């Protein structure tokens, strides 16, 4: 009996390490299959860490596959990401690393990420920032992005940065009236900006950003692309700096 049990356990353990197609359960008798299954169950109950080890290996493989897929997606869409001709550019325009941020003004994590990104630009000094307006949280998000993009197209880059920062910090309801008041507080020509909000030029920017996000499999904000690496979700400044350091030492 002991010999039979040890043999079954050895078989079960070996089978755990083999591809599924290497185990031919059909060739076993009913009794052999039942013994085989019972020994696997007993082994896993006695050694549950094996399950966690397998899950960890699977997660590592999936993460590596996702990272490789992200690298390929970035390479396929590099020009649209880094040089689209319409996105606001900040930080060091000649920096050796480009950080692209997809953001939404109604996204709480985007608001949390803003000082982290500013901290990274201030502490590093050699990073170029590209902002992608990516409104996905309803009509108020779209309205805010339209106002920001229209500000850039009507009043220029500095005015865009001012209204962008104001919208990131804004905590009230977003409406045409509240946007107008924000613009007036910054001495902007709000009538001209509001008149331009629904223009084809603004439509095009939002449409292109959404199309790009879809190609990159980005569905949430904030999402970042730093050179060939994609980071989905909020990251503190230390984590972003660590990624920048890794990129520079590759």
What domains are defined for the chain?
Answer: 2-75 (no CATH), 86-249 (3.40.30.10)
pLDDT at 37: 84
Give the lowest-confidence range in 8-22, 123-137, 167-181.
8-22
Write out the two tokens for 5.
């049990």
Write out the two tokens for 149.
């993009």
Assign 6 a pLDDT band (cuts: 50, 70, 90): very low
Q: How far apart are CA 129 and CA 95, in angstroms?
A: 9
For 63, counting Cβ atoms within 10 Å of its Cβ (0-12 exposed, 13-18 middle, 19+ buried), the class is exposed
Mean pLDDT of the chain: 88
The answer to whether 93 and 82 are in contact (CB under 8 A) is no
Q: What is the per-residue pLDDT across 50-65, written as a single tens digit (0 to 9) for each?
A: 788 878 777 777 776 6
Q: What is the per-residue pLDDT across 95-154, written as a single tens digit (0 to 9) for each?
A: 999 999 999 999 999 999 999 999 999 999 999 999 999 999 999 999 999 999 999 999
Question: Rounded mean pLDDT of 192-217?
Answer: 97
pLDDT at 106: 97
Q: How far apart are CA 133 and CA 98, in angstroms?
A: 16
The sign of the torsion formed by the CA atoms of 214, 104, 223, 82 equals: positive
Q: Within its chain, how far is the Cα of 224 from the centroid?
A: 5
Write out the two tokens for 99.
């950080």
């Amino acid at each position: 009996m002991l010999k039979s049990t040890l043999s079954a356990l050895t078989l079960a353990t070996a089978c755990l390490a083999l591809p599924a197609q290497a185990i031919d359960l059909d060739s076993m008798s009913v009794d052999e299959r039942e013994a085989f299954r019972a020994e696997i169950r007993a082994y896993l109950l006695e050694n549950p860490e094996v399950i966690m080890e397998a899950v960890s290996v699977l997660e590592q493989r999936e993460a590596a596959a996702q990272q490789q897929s992200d690298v390929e997606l970035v390479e396929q869409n590099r020009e649209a990401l880094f040089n689209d001709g319409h996105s606001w550019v900040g930080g060091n325009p000649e920096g050796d690393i480009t950080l692209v941020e997809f953001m939404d003004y109604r996204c709480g994590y985007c608001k949390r990420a803003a000082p982290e990104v500013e901290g990274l630009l201030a502490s590093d000094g050699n990073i170029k920032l590209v902002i992608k307006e990516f409104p996905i949280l309803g009509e108020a998000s779209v309205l805010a992005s339209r106002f920001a993009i229209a500000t850039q197209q009507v009043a220029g880059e500095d005015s865009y940065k001012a209204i962008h920062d104001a919208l990131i910090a804004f905590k009230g309801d977003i409406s045409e009236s509240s946007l107008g008041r924000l613009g007036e507080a910054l001495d902007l020509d709000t009538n001209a900006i509001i008149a331009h909000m629904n223009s084809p030029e603004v439509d095009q920017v939002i449409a292109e950003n959404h199309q790009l996000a879809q190609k990159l499999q980005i569905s949430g904000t904030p999402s970042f692309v730093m050179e060939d690496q994609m980071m989905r979700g909020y990251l503190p400044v230390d984590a972003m700096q660590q990624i920048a350091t890794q990129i520079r030492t590759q």
